[in-house]
Amino acid sequence: MGRYLINGGKKISGTLKINGSKNSVLPILAASILNSGQSVIHNCPDIYDTHTALKILKHVGCKVKFENHTAIIDSSTINSYEVDPDLVKEMRSSIIFLGSILSVMKRVSISYPGGCELGKRPIDFHLAALKKLGAQIIEDGDKIICSAENLKGCKIKLKFPSVGATQNIILASVFARGSTKIINAAREPEIIDLQNFLKKMGADINGAGTSQIVINGVEKLSNVEHKVIPDRIVAATFLISAAITKGQIEIENVITNHLPLINFLQTGCYIKLSKNKIYLKAKEFIRPIKNLQTMPYPYFPTDLQAQFVSLLSLASGRSIVKENVFESRNKHIPELIKMGAKIKILPDNTTFIIDGVKRLNGAYLISKDLRGGAALILAALAAYGKTIIQDENHILRGYEKIEEKLKSLGADIKYEQ
């Protein structure tokens, strides 16, 4: 358990390089099992989740090395198909190892990741797809054991463009006999990055970024070297740090069209784009957004909902935010209310009515999840007085040295273990 100590009221100002994407490196690390050889992966974010994924790889027998944001995996020594249950508890997105371990070991045993602060987080889409590909699935208590001598390509239509399910289907299909077609696939940039990684290994996969992805099974995959794309959610979080403190920021090594810039413009910020850079300057007033809906990519991302709620808490009017992806991504709101925010959660638990206030006041807060925790830091930067945020390592899972980076941009922030 650690805590962030923030004295608000300082304008964010300066430039920042953005690190690699958490939601891209995790499926890519899972995919490094597939070539039973070496993967050199650059621009890995140095965050808890990266290290948890490396521990999972080590636990199944791979050799792993990590230094200076580069991970080197040798998966030729893999000797187990069991994902360490303690690590699944630490990181529910460990489910992304299902497809790749099954592909190589013909079996995989993993405990149910279970729900979290955002909602129940079922994995029914993942399991239904693996069954369609020919896997036998035994559920034994909270353990799932999948086995398949030969996976056979087929057409899989997803009820919802689930990011994780799309990734697991891809990883389970690379060696499957024949062709697999995913319909209603997730279109996130992290899926494109995974496809690029796999193509470099020699996989036959096309369509990532669209709703239809086709994977034709191959026999073998080769060694690979790859650079992970920048983290669009971290980039947007830092843009909001400047917007909420009426400051200005230039972020570098970003892929500009990965961010929902239209929504920043709706709040009245000035935005200037240049090659892989975004400059944002806040205006005197933050404009409210009458109807902000979270949706799968390429629409406004659920992973920025909490951070935008913090920003809109200080807008000059009423905003309505609707969370359409997770059923209870709202644990940041009671904490913001402690700071003086005027937010009402409707009985559906996913509609938030935000009446902007002139000021927020520092308070003692508890962060409940990764992006909610980041949202509390953003609100504290703008608040009058001191805020303490108790955080059970949620923020460290997805933000690399956030307090050092914010300090370098003018914030008065400290982190204590």
What is the C-alpha separation between 91 and 97, in angstroms, rounded? Answer: 12
User: One of 44, 62, 116, 154 is an active-site residue; which one?
Assistant: 116
Residue number, 29 or 286, with CB nearest to ligand EPZ: 29
Which residue number has the CB closest to ligand EPZ? 164
Q: What are phi and psi of 388, to 5 degrees?
A: -115, 130
- Least Å distance, CB 232 to ligand EPZ, is 10
- Least Å distance, CB 186 to ligand EPZ, is 6
- Least Å distance, CB 144 to ligand EPZ, is 12
Residue number, 30 or 269, with CB nearest to ligand EPZ: 30
Residue 247, judged by CB atoms within 10 A of its CB (0-12, 13-18, 19+), counts as buried
What is the C-alpha separation between 174 and 41, in angstroms, rounded? Answer: 19
User: What is the C-alpha end-to-end distance of the chain, expressed in Å?
Assistant: 6
Residue in the block written with tokens 């129940």 = 120
The footprint of ligand EPZ (CB under 6 A) covers 22-23, 26, 93, 119, 121-126, 160, 162-165, 186, 302-303, 325-326, 370-371, 398
Would residue 116 show up in a list of annotated catalytic residues for this protein? yes
Residue number, 67 or 348, with CB nearest to ligand EPZ: 348
What is the C-alpha separation between 409 and 247, in angstroms, rounded? Answer: 10
Q: What are phi and psi of 309, to 5 degrees?
A: -60, -40
- Least Å distance, CB 246 to ligand EPZ, is 26
Residue number, 184 or 223, with CB nearest to ligand EPZ: 184
- With a CB cutoff of 8 Å and minimum separation 6, the contacts of 140 are none
Count Cα neighbours of 208 within 13 Å in the Cβ-side half-sphere. Answer: 22
Written as six digits, the tokens of 143 are: 């353990």
- Least Å distance, CB 281 to ligand EPZ, is 27
What is the C-alpha separation between 270 and 258, in angstroms, rounded? Answer: 18
Residue number, 161 or 362, with CB nearest to ligand EPZ: 161
Instruction: Cite the active site residues.
Output: 116
